[in-house]
Amino acid sequence: MGILAERIEDGSDLRLEIERITREYQIRAGSILCGIGGLRKCRIRTAVIDLDRPSYIDPGIVEIVALQGTLSMHSAHVHITVSDQTGQTWGGHLSRGCIVRMTCELVIMCHESYTFDRALDVETGYDELVITKEC
């Protein structure tokens, strides 16, 4: 296992930067150990009730309270929890359109003996995690 740390700069799209990092470092299987920082714009996909109509929230300027997910250079499944200046929190799927405010410190653990991928699961209707153990 290896550790990768990146500082994501002000004005960057957090989701796009995570996708760029996984491709650039050719991460086959990774997990986000931590992600802290701020967002000037936040787009979170909330829990889906109707598979045909996902819903999104944008709570505005927020601090990242938690960031976790499974990563590969082919896919990423990332959840985020944020809070505003009053301490109110929101959470859900990290979507494109979350714009970093000042900085975001991101630490990723790379699992070198695994490969993560995604494939359609007929039970859930979503692309779900497929784990392959490398020998």
**What distance in Å separates the CA atoms of residue 11 and residue 103, rounded to the nearest whole number?**
9
Q: For 8-41, what is each residue's pLDDT tens digit? A: 999 999 999 999 999 999 999 999 999 999 999 9
pLDDT averaged over every residue in the chain: 94
Helices (DSSP H) in 2-135: which residue ranges? 14-24
Confidence class of residue 48 from pLDDT cuts 50, 70 and 90?
confident
Containing 87, the helix (H) or strand (E) segment is: none
Query: What token pair was written down for 106?
Result: 């991101």
User: How much of the chain exceeds pLDDT 90, in percent?
Assistant: 88
Give every CB contact of residue 132 below 8 A, 6+ residues apart in sequence.
114, 115, 116, 117
pTM for the structure as a whole = 0.92
Average pLDDT value for residue range 58-72: 97
Fold of the domain spanning 2-133: 60s Ribosomal Protein L30; Chain: A; (3.30.1330)
Query: What token pair was written down for 36?
Result: 């802290």
